[in-house]
Amino acid sequence: MIKKIGNLNKNKIISRRLFVLVAAKIGLIGIVTSRLYNLQISQKQKYEVLSDKNRIREWKTPPQRGIITDYFNNVIADNQRVYQVHLSLEEVSNFNNSIFKLKNIISLKEDEIKKIYEKKEKSKPWDTLIISENLSWKEFSKLNLYLHELDGAKPVLSTSRYYPYSNDLVHVVGYVGDATAQEIQNKKKIQENFVPGLKVGKIGIENSKDTDLIGNHGTKRYEVNASGKKISEISYNKETQGQNLRTTIDLEIQQLAQELLKNQAGSICVMDIFTGEVITMASSPTYDPNKFTHGISNKDWNEIKNNKLRPLLNKSLAGLYSPGSTIKPLVALAALEYGIIDTKFKVNCKGHDHPYELYGERYHCWKKNGHGWMSMRNAIKQSCDIYFYEVARLLGVDKLSLIAKRYGLGSKVLEDFFSEEKKGIVPSTKWKKQVLDQSWYLGETVITGIGQGYIQTTPLQLCLMTAQLANGGYKIKPNLIYDKEINLDAIKSKIESEKNKSVSQNILKDHEFKYYERLYRNPNNLKFVLDAMYGSTNEQFGTSFRSRHKEDKYKFAGKTGTSQVKRITDQDRELDLELEEIEYKSRDHALFIAFAPYDKPRYSLSVLIEHGGSGSKAAAPLANKLIKKILDRHGLREKIRKDLKNIA
Amino acid sequence: MILSTSLNSTSYSFIDKLKAIDYFLIIIVAIIGSISVFSIYSTESGNFSFYTKNHLTRFLVFFSMFLVISFVRVSFWYRQAYIFYILGILLLLLVIFFGISASGSKRWINLFIMNLQPSELMKIAIIVCFARYYHRIQSSDIQSYKYLLQPIILLLIPCYLVITQPDLGTAILIAGSGLAIIWLAGLNLKYFIYSGLILLVSLPFVISILKPYQKSRILTFFNPDRDPLGAGYQIIQSKIAIGSGGLLGKGFLQGTQSYLEFLPEKHTDFIFTLFSEEFGFVGSMLLILLYALLIYRIIRIGFFSRSFFAKLYCYGFASALFLYIFVNIAMVVGLLPIVGAPLPIMSYGGSSMLSIMLGLSIVMSCKIYSRDPIGN
């Protein structure tokens, strides 16, 4: 009986204890449930993202660069099919081994192998390494033959930059190369679209317009497993090609200009005097931009770098030269505008025996026997130095500087488009005080009058100056990339309205001019100067008379210039050596500026031959050939202009 | 003697036995078993290959065994309880000398048809043993030191042997199962509180004798991001898998975490993770519900049993089963450190399946022979 009671008691205890246990279990189930709820319902999105991050990996695909064409749609920077070999790192079992095998098949050089190892250090384990960017067809087919032995190696058909007119446009278009760490860091567009092997612009348009040209990279999303192996492609956001660019360059004229400059150091610039379109910007010597695309070899680089004629220097806008006598029309214009003298003002040029004298310093004319009594027109036409010494003296350097700047000297023509473009120097008393901390001497004014001394200009500035004289004295906007905002008819009507605008005396003071505003006070002054330039080319005794066109439609006006690179001593004058007898580096630079056609000006040009001797002998004859070509192509260019306008 | 003959003479016709079977429990086990086969099938990305075949075979064999052994009289288990326990200890000792090592621990004996993990059998043996032990003790005697010390020694021996394998997870489960019965038998609450306090005080010492990997698991538990690619990897990936499953899951065979091999140990300890990733919160709750029903059925059988042995065994087994399930799920959802505890029936592994099925057949035996008074 006791036992029975004990059993009942025991039964009760067990049941009670079980009850406690079950209650605890229910509590624990509650905890697990709330945890699951928390993970799967509350934090679902967070874990979904993490899960996708786990399983999805992105690969960037390189964009194709935009195509660059000339004004006539001739491709001047293209994308060309190239054969490459890539190495997919995650598929390579033994990297050293693979490189060794590849080396034997596609003949990699030691320094190339070193670069590959450097690149590998920086790569992620699932990256693809570009082993060679540009294989020959022979190497490529050999690679395909041995492919089964090369784990991870992939023959790839890709595209790369190609410049079909190699040397002719390098100073305009520039070239591309691998992005440096600095470029990736500093340029947002490059950073955003960086893909191993991406080429970026280094100089020229390729550099200036890189942001437009690069395009946008694509993204391939793959599902990968825990060890990173690609399982399937999930999505492919295709890369987009960079913007295509139409330049204002006329390929044929550019090529002719380069041809004319062959074997010489120099520059030829051609510009539309209304639209400001740079039609040609040739610089010589040139080099092949294609060599830079896949990294230039040391040998080629040294060859370019050590060339005495400095091919790397873009002489059109980074070469600085004294303008010489090409400045004379501007000096005359300044003197007329300020009313210092009139066109009838005369100076007697008496030859080397009786030079111009100022405070005991003697200044010679280039002509040994002198020009005799010179009026302004004759002085420009025959480029009499004595006349301009006197005009400059009367005018003063500050007024000359003001007008020179107004017509385009002393500032960058293409603004910041080319990083290497130089401003040049247009000296003034203020400038000298500021920069050299010295007072101005009158003697310096005198030589500035013939474009010597401190004054420094680029050939492109001279071309712009000529354009702004030839268009009747209106400020234009130089441009190298076709811009549909720049409309010839609109410009012409704007100029027409400016013509009749009454001008205040303020026009002779320093102030900012807007585009297409008139720069002159009296139109007759300009007309006079342009007519004198006509005389210089088309009348006997004119300095460029021998380079004239007899046919009316090709008739142009110009001004020669010979810029000294060193001071001419009395001994030099005595010797009067022929060009060939002077050491190359001491020979004068030959310059020529011109506009055409004379009766209805449309184009301006500047020619510079470094150490070419006199402007009339070395530079002006080139203008003759160029102008014929330019005017022959005028109709075609206008047709394209009309078509482009209609599209817009 | 007379008493015992009358006990054994309690006779059941075959029809009685069939009627007495808890079919509901069998159905639940069959359902969970089927789910487990499909889950293992999913771990192999939907290929009917090695693991799935093995698991299916084991399930079918052990499930059949469960049904057959259910007809063994419960008094047999009562009588052989200590033998079962001793056998378990012997097998554990055998592991020390002839055991097979895998990933740093020595847990298995090669039985040619399968590798047996004696610690899994010990999980059942300890329950049977304690059920018998407390079956006979009067409730008034339970609090005495004699009856307190004996079961503690019985419990410490297998726990020590299992910890040294080393297999902390199973040792905890064995200890937990044993303690559950001691609790059910009615040991005063204060002893539990005291031992709890002692454990807490000795925790620094316990941690100091832990193996480095065990320590790192515990540290990782508190901060999985400590070493996301090393010690924390499993739990981070498991949480990602479960969390990304959402309400309804990614769908059968669609679990990217397991399919893409981010999930480690997906056949064994992390099978719940895979299931939860593919079937979401709803699927997980249904599976937990099935387990709850299973436990409920087992408790119910204990409730209707007449003998203390049967009651203690059923309640003890139900508690142990709950413990296994809770520890496993809590582990994979990051509520407990990763200790290595399989999910009953679901996880791939012969010994675990064997011990669960054996445990269930004793439960069923309690049901069929519920009128057996045993030993009183």
Specify whether the CB–CB gap between A275 and A159 falls below 8 A.
Answer: no
> Tell me, what amino acid is at A285?
P
- What domains lie within chain A, and their CATH numbers? 58-246 (3.90.1310.10), 251-303+315-647 (3.40.710.10)
The Cα-based distances of A437 to A429, A453, A456, A461, B294 in angstroms read 10, 17, 19, 27, 102
Q: Which of A5, A38, A39 is most worth mutating to test chain B (most B CB atoms within 10 A of its CB)? A: A39
Q: Which residue(s) pair with A280 in the sheet?
A: A270
Specify whether the CB–CB gap between B298 and B365 falls below 8 A.
Answer: no
A414-427 core/surface letters (b: 16 or more CB in 10 A; e: else): beebbeebbebbbb
- Residues of chain B in contact with residue A27, where contact means CB-CB under 8 angstroms, are none
**Pairing status of strand A603-609 against strand A266-272:** antiparallel
In the prediction, which pLDDT does A544 show?
Answer: 92
Task: Indicate yes or no: CB of A44 within 8 angstroms of CB of B184.
Answer: no
Q: pTM score, two decimals?
A: 0.71
Q: In chain A, which residue's Cα lies nearest the Cα of B257?
A: A51
Instruction: Provide the shortest C-alpha distance from residue A123 to chain B (in Å).
Output: 20
Among candidates B184, B243, B322 on the partner chain, residue whose Cβ is nearest the Cβ of A14: B184
Q: In chain B, which residue's Cα lies nearest the Cα of A13?
A: B186
Instruction: Provide the shortest C-alpha distance from residue B158 to chain A (in Å).
Output: 24
The Cα-based distances of A590 to A36, A324, B81 in angstroms read 87, 9, 118
- Which residue pairs from A615-618 have beta carbons closer than 8 angstroms and sit at least 24 positions apart in sequence? A615/A324, A615/A325, A615/A326, A615/A543, A615/A544, A615/A560, A615/A561, A615/A562, A615/A590, A615/A591, A616/A543, A616/A544, A616/A546, A616/A547, A616/A560, A616/A562, A616/A592, A617/A579, A617/A590, A618/A590
Who contacts A18 (Cβ-Cβ below 8 Å, separation ≥6)? B184, B299, B302, B315
**Pairing status of strand A68-69 against strand A245-246:** parallel
Is the omega angle on the peptide bond into residue A125 within 30 degrees of 0, that is, cis? Answer: no
Which residue stretches of B99-144 are H helix? 118-136
The secondary element (H helix, E strand) that includes residue B220 is helix B212-222
Three-state DSSP string of A326-395 = HHHHHHHHHHHHCCCCCCCCCEEECCCCCCEEECCEEECCCCCCCCEEECHHHHHHCCCHHHHHHHHHHH
Q: How far apart are CA A579 and CA A610, in angstroms?
A: 13
Other beta carbons within 10 angstroms of residue A468's beta carbon come to 25
Task: Indicate yes or no: CB of A51 within 8 angstroms of CB of B285.
Answer: no
Task: Indicate yes or no: CB of B319 within 8 angstroms of CB of A21.
Answer: yes
Q: How far apart are CA B233 and CA B262, in angstroms?
A: 9
Average pLDDT per block of 10 residues along chain A, 648 residues long: 68 89 94 94 90 82 91 93 84 83 83 84 78 85 83 82 92 91 88 85 92 90 77 86 94 95 95 95 93 86 92 94 94 94 93 89 90 94 94 95 94 91 94 93 93 95 96 94 91 90 80 90 93 94 92 93 85 78 88 94 95 91 94 94 87
Q: In chain B, which residue's Cα lies nearest the Cα of A19?
A: B184
- Residues of chain A in contact with residue B330, where contact means CB-CB under 8 angstroms, are 28, 31-32, 35
Task: Indicate yes or no: CB of B333 within 8 angstroms of CB of A51.
Answer: no
Task: Indicate yes or no: CB of B185 within 8 angstroms of CB of A14.
Answer: yes
Q: How far apart are CA B118 and CA B165, in angstroms?
A: 11
Task: Indicate yes or no: CB of B295 within 8 angstroms of CB of A25.
Answer: yes
Instruction: Provide the shortest C-alpha distance from residue B182 to chain A (in Å).
Output: 10
In the prediction, which pLDDT does A11 show?
Answer: 84
CB distance from B228 to chain A under 8 Å?
no
Supply B41's token pair.
Answer: 């099938």
Integer-rounded Cα Rg, in Å, for chain A is: 36
Q: How far apart are CA A328 and CA A332, in angstroms?
A: 6
In the prediction, which pLDDT does B4 show?
Answer: 41
The Cα-based distances of A190 to A197, A210, A296 in angstroms read 12, 9, 21
Mean pLDDT for all residues in chain A = 90
Task: Indicate yes or no: CB of B260 within 8 angstroms of CB of A44.
Answer: no
Among candidates B185, B183, B88, B191, which has minimal Cα distance to B135? B185
Instruction: Provide the shortest C-alpha distance from residue A482 to chain B (in Å).
Output: 53
What would the pLDDT profile of A482-527 be if each residue is shown by its tens digit?
998 889 999 999 999 988 887 777 788 888 889 999 999 999 999 9
Task: Indicate yes or no: CB of B246 within 8 angstroms of CB of A46.
Answer: no
pLDDT by residue, tens only, chain B of 376 residues: 334 444 444 677 888 888 889 999 999 999 999 999 999 999 888 888 899 999 999 999 999 999 999 999 998 999 999 999 999 999 999 998 888 887 778 888 888 888 899 999 999 999 999 999 998 888 778 888 888 889 999 999 999 999 888 888 899 999 999 999 999 988 888 888 988 898 888 888 877 777 777 777 777 777 766 666 666 788 888 999 999 999 999 989 888 887 777 777 888 899 999 999 999 999 999 999 999 999 999 999 999 988 889 999 999 999 999 999 999 999 999 998 888 889 999 999 889 999 999 999 999 999 998 877 776 5
In the prediction, which pLDDT does B6 show?
Answer: 41
Residue showing tokens 């006990």: B7
**Pairing status of strand A266-272 against strand A245-246:** unpaired
CB distance from B328 to chain A under 8 Å?
no
In the prediction, which pLDDT does B230 show?
Answer: 67
- Residues of chain B in contact with residue A225, where contact means CB-CB under 8 angstroms, are 260-262
Instruction: Provide the shortest C-alpha distance from residue B225 to chain A (in Å).
Output: 14
The secondary element (H helix, E strand) that includes residue A51 is helix A44-55
